[in-house]
Chain A
Amino acid sequence: MNPALQGLITIVIGVGGCLAYFYLSNQFLDRVLFPGTGEHAGRNINRANQIRPWLFLFPAIFALTLYLAYPVVETLRLSLTDRNAGGAFVGLANYRQMMDEPKFWEAMKNNMLWLIVVPAAATAFGLLAAQLTDRIKWGNIAKSLIFMPMAISFVGASVIFKLVYDTRAADQDQIGVLNALWLTFDGETSSLIFLRLVPAIIVLAFGAFMAYGIYLTLRPLIWGEAERGGGSWWTVPLRAAVAIGAAWLLWLSLKSIFNLFTVTLPYGEPQTWLTVPFWNNFFLMVVLIWIQTGFAMVILSAALRGIPEETIEAAIIDGASPFDIFFKIKVPQIMSTIVVVWTTITLVVLKVFDIVYAMTNGQWETQVLANYMYDKLFRANDWGVGSASAIIIMLLVTPILIWNVYTTRKEMR
């Protein structure tokens, strides 16, 4: 049968079936099971109204259970069994096997790098774009153009950026923008500025942000504000953990600034960007940053517009500079939105598969967890290790899951 026709029939059957289910089950409830007339009319109506929500919910609960809840449990079970041994329970053997693979640790390491760089860069660019475009007349057009990559598939974006990164032999004209740009650098002043100074400033800004973060997280502990402010005991280890993480990132950024000024760069040679170990990860990340910045911008721009005008006007009257207003008045007020944006992008990063699959397929040390898992599942046909790596992704997502459920429940009360 023609798939288009099949699709049409499915729409009709699917949608029609759903509507028929809802209509008929309601009719059945009201007319047959608990008729709202006669002797027990009142009791029947009450009973019908107790059952009705479940009629409305049944298809959704069924689909959610079968397609999301059951797989979590089943994947956990599969990760503890061995396919070759007929599904026998093997305990943590799959996890042990996975831990022994260097490719897994490479994927973990790269994923951590992705988790740090992509949300940070996308949020920062998004905030910058939101702040700048809010102040000009053609801001909406600019926004919509920066937002546009959201509609482009990861695969399409990969093709777009593969062209940017394309390499030709040294004696030919370069057709990739990045190499054409690279070959204009010759080690003189301009390359010193653009390849060493500017990146160093960006990394330094990141480091400063981290230092500020450490200060913010530790301040209540040092001054004993936690008790006075009503903070609970469990925030202490959490704050300490965040501070240690931030300190590590600060150390990393300082180290990379040092490296930036000492490394010798191969000027004048076209580079195959996607095969340069370590740095190729960043070239892949650029694709996701490019896509996600628009998202961050849209959300943050709405948050910026939601800031009460009075706070800004008061700051202006007090003589605050635009930069002070931005960093000391606006950013603190939209901090919760920044956190939401950050975690949302984090979730996207954890699931990132298409970009790596299409651009390098995990070669040249660019493996990430989602692609590693796909590799294990469908190329190595190893369901045990594949499930184990899926569970690792789930574990990484769990803190965000718990946080989301926690905040939603708090809001609903």
Chain B
Amino acid sequence: MSSIAGSKSGLTWAVHISVLLLVLLWLFPTIGLLISSFRTSDQIATSGWWDALFTQEQNMVLRAKPPKAQNQEGATWVISGNIFADNDESPATISVWGTSSREISKYTPGETADLGDKGKLTVEANGDYRLENTTEFSGKRGGRVFVTATAPPKFTLDNYRTVLFSGSTTDSMAKAFFNTLTVTIPATIIPIVIAAFAAYALAWMRFPGRALLIAAVVGLLVVPLQLALIPLLRLHLAIGIGKGYLGVWLAHTGFGLPLAIYLLRNYMVGLPRDIIENAKVDGATDFQIFTRIILPLSFPALASFAIFQFLWTWNDLLVAKVFLIDATGETTVMTNQIVELLGTRGGNWEILATAAFVSIAVPLAVFFAMQRYLVRGLLAGSVK
């Protein structure tokens, strides 16, 4: 293959560039959300996230210090300071400024605006200003200054503070985060145990009906879980499980089993026959063979399925909505919380973006840490 690429360097470059474009295209949406989660709501509302990375020009309405801060210097009364510091803004560079909303770019830095009986105002590029008048300033509030300034990129962690630690009932993801964990971990571990035994029986034990059972598992692999919703919810309500963690654990176990059995059986069948037969000759029981030999050897397959099931249960919305979340909403999971935020706070991108990122972070970490097993699992059982 390299011989093709090597002989035509132009084509190689085309390949590099197209892969780069493809990767960027695929990353672009996620990066947008990630960057938005570090911006303030004002920033998000007034400019695209792609502007956040560069020095940004923005229009600001700021106020000078109130008249009570004035000093008398000889015959003139003076109010001076830095227009950004006085308004708790980060430093920026002023390109133009004005004193009325109709002419926000009337003056350049260093120029002096004549405000008539309200005095003379000089604003420097770094925001230092000096307001002078021959009579004493009166009133409560300082005068308004309209500045157009270029500010360096600015990011904040406030959104994460709100979403994770604020305890606000609508925005906080902390509870949903732990609820999701509570759903996910048992729903990942229990099917593995059940499936491992079944897979061993299907792979290494002889009994009538084995082929039929394997075919049934393959068939159940593709049964849409939509079919299971009503009957199972009715069943859960009838036998008293109702909506809750137990119900959702059982449901996830049931829905995950076909893939688990399929993956594990395919893997176990490939294990060397000699080991198992030698162990049998040495007098090991099936139970011992399973726990001492098969389980340790099957670790890669177990890991693949564990990742699948973890991602699937963590990211699930439908099963949680049907089997877990009741009217009180105490047991809400993160996906559901985000959908609700989309409804109630559809415009508050800083909260939405941050909440989404909190929910994405864990699966992404798992994904990058254990990608090898995920790929292996996909290759072994790309049916579900």
Confirm or deny: A215 has a beta carbon within 8 angstroms of a beta carbon on chain B: no
Inter-chain contacts of A353 with B (CB < 8 A): 226, 317-318
A112 touches B (CB below 8 Å): no
CB of A405 within 8 A of CB of B335, answer: no
Complex Cα spacing A15 to B193, Å: 7
Q: Does A243 contact B (CB under 8 A)?
A: no
Contact (Cβ within 8 A) B254 A63: yes
Q: What 0/1 readout, one digit per residue, does chain B (1-32) give for beta carbons within 8 Å of chain A?
A: 11111001001100110111011001111101
User: A222 an interface residue at 8 Å Cβ cutoff?
Assistant: no
Closest CB of chain A to B278's CB: distance in Å?
18
Verify B194–A404 contact, CB threshold 8 A: no
Q: Compute how far the CA of A174 lies from the CA of B331 in the bound complex, rounded to whole angstroms.
A: 37
In the complex, the answer to whether B189 meets A11 with C-beta atoms within 8 Å is yes
Task: Tell whether, in the assembled complex, residue B22 and residue A146 are in contact, meaning their CB atoms are under 8 Å apart.
Answer: yes
Query: Which one of A30, A64, A149 contacts B258 once the chains associate, using CB atoms below 8 Å?
Result: A64
Known contacts A390-B229, A397-B222; A7/B185 CB under 8 A? yes
Measured CA separation A176–B287 after assembly (Å): 59
The CA of A11 and the CA of B181, in the complex, are separated in Å by: 12
Given A56-B205, A68-B255, verify A164-B19 contact (CB < 8 Å): no
Closest B-chain residue to A56, C-beta based? B201
Say if the beta carbon of A374 comes within 8 Å of chain B: yes
- Tell whether, in the assembled complex, residue B207 and residue A152 are in contact, meaning their CB atoms are under 8 Å apart: no
**Which of A17-25, A253-261, A262-270 is near enough to bind chain B?**
A17-25
Q: Determine if B189 and A14 form an interchain contact, defined as CB atoms under 8 angstroms apart.
A: yes
Q: Please state if A408 and B218 are interface contacts (CB–CB under 8 Å).
A: yes
CB pair A53 B230 closer than 8 Å: no
User: Are A30 and B19 closer than 8 Å at their CB atoms?
Assistant: no
B211 to chain A, nearest CB (A): 6
- Which of B94-102, B123-131, B150-158, B366-374 lies at the interface? B366-374
Of the residues B210, B254, B286, B314, contact of A66 by C-beta under 8 Å: B254
Given known contacts A6-B245, A132-B22, A147-B371, A155 and B32 CB-to-CB distance under 8 angstroms: no
With a cutoff of 8 Å between Cβ atoms, the chain A residues found around residue B253 in the complex are 63, 67
B375 touches A298 (CB 8 A): yes
Count, chain B residues at interface, CB 8 A = 120
Does residue A197 face the partner (Cβ distance < 8 Å to B)? no
| With A153-B314, A347-B384 as contacts: A160 and B367 at CB distance below 8 Å | no
In the complex, whether B272 has a CB less than 8 A from a CB of chain A is: no
Cβ-neighbour of A53 out of B15, B179, B205 (below 8 A): B205
The reply on B148 being an interface residue by CB < 8 A is no
Binds B, one of A72-80, A98-106, A188-196, A202-210: A72-80
Tell me whether A22 and B197 are in contact (CB under 8 A).
Answer: yes
A47 at interface (Cβ–Cβ under 8 A)?
no
A152 touches B363 (CB 8 A): yes
How far is A69 from B227 in the complex, measured between Cα atoms in Å? 10
Q: Would you call A401 and B222 a contact (CB within 8 A)?
A: yes
Distance to closest chain B CB from A106 (angstroms): 18
Chain A interface SS verdict (over half): helix
Give the chain A neighbours of B335 by CB distance below 8 A.
Answer: 153, 155-156, 354
Chain A interface extent, by class: 35 or more
With beta carbons under 8 angstroms apart, the residue of A69, A302, A409 that contacts B215 is A409
A326 to B202, CA, bound (A): 40
B152-196 vs A, Cβ < 8 Å mask (1 yes, 0 no): 000000000000000000000000001101100110011001110
Indicate which residue in B2, B8, B181, B182 contacts A6 across the interface (CB closer than 8 Å): B182
Over the window 138-155 of chain A, the binary record of Cβ atoms lying under 8 Å from chain B Cβ atoms (1 yes, 0 no) is 010010111111111111
Query: Which residue of B has the minimal Cβ distance to A386?
Result: B230
B227 touches A75 (CB 8 A): yes
- Per-residue CB contact flags for chain A residues 47-68 toward chain B (1 = under 8 Å, else 0) read 0011011101101110110111
> Does A63 lie within 8 Å of B384, measured CB to CB?
no
CA distance A146 to B229 in the complex (A): 33
Set B45, B290, B378: member contacting A298, Cβ < 8 A: B378
B193 and A69 contacting across the interface, CB-CB below 8 Å: no
With a CB–CB cut-off of 8 A, which chain A residues contact B317? 153-155, 353-354, 357-358
Is B339 in contact with A373, judged by CB distance below 8 angstroms?
Answer: no
A90 CB within 8 Å of chain B: no
Shortest A410–chain B CB gap in Å is 11
**A52–B185 alpha-carbon span in the complex (Å):** 30
Task: Tell me the residues in window 157-202 of chain A with beta carbons closer than 8 Å to chain B beta carbons.
Answer: 158-164, 166, 172-177, 180
Residues in chain B near residue A239, CB distance under 8 A = none
25 contacts between A and B (CB under 8 A): A11-B190, A14-B186, A14-B193, A53-B201, A53-B207, A56-B290, A57-B202, A57-B213, A60-B194, A61-B213, A63-B257, A64-B257, A67-B254, A67-B257, A74-B231, A144-B371, A147-B371, A155-B335, A156-B335, A159-B342, A172-B46, A298-B375, A344-B384, A390-B227, A404-B219
Given A3-B178, A162-B352, A177-B50, 6 additional A-B pairs, CB 8 A: A52-B201, A148-B27, A152-B360, A160-B32, A298-B378, A383-B230
Give chain B's interface residues, CB within 8 Å of chain A. Answer: 1-5, 8, 11-12, 15-16, 18-20, 22-23, 26-30, 32-33, 36, 44-50, 178-179, 181-182, 185-186, 189-190, 193-195, 197-198, 200-202, 205-207, 210-211, 213-232, 235, 245-246, 249-251, 253-255, 257-258, 261, 285-287, 290, 311, 314-318, 321-322, 331, 335, 338-339, 342, 349, 352-353, 355-356, 359-360, 363-364, 366-368, 371, 374-375, 378-379, 382-384
Which 6 A-B residue pairings sit nearest by Cβ, starting from the closest?
A67-B254, A153-B315, A60-B198, A151-B367, A74-B231, A56-B201
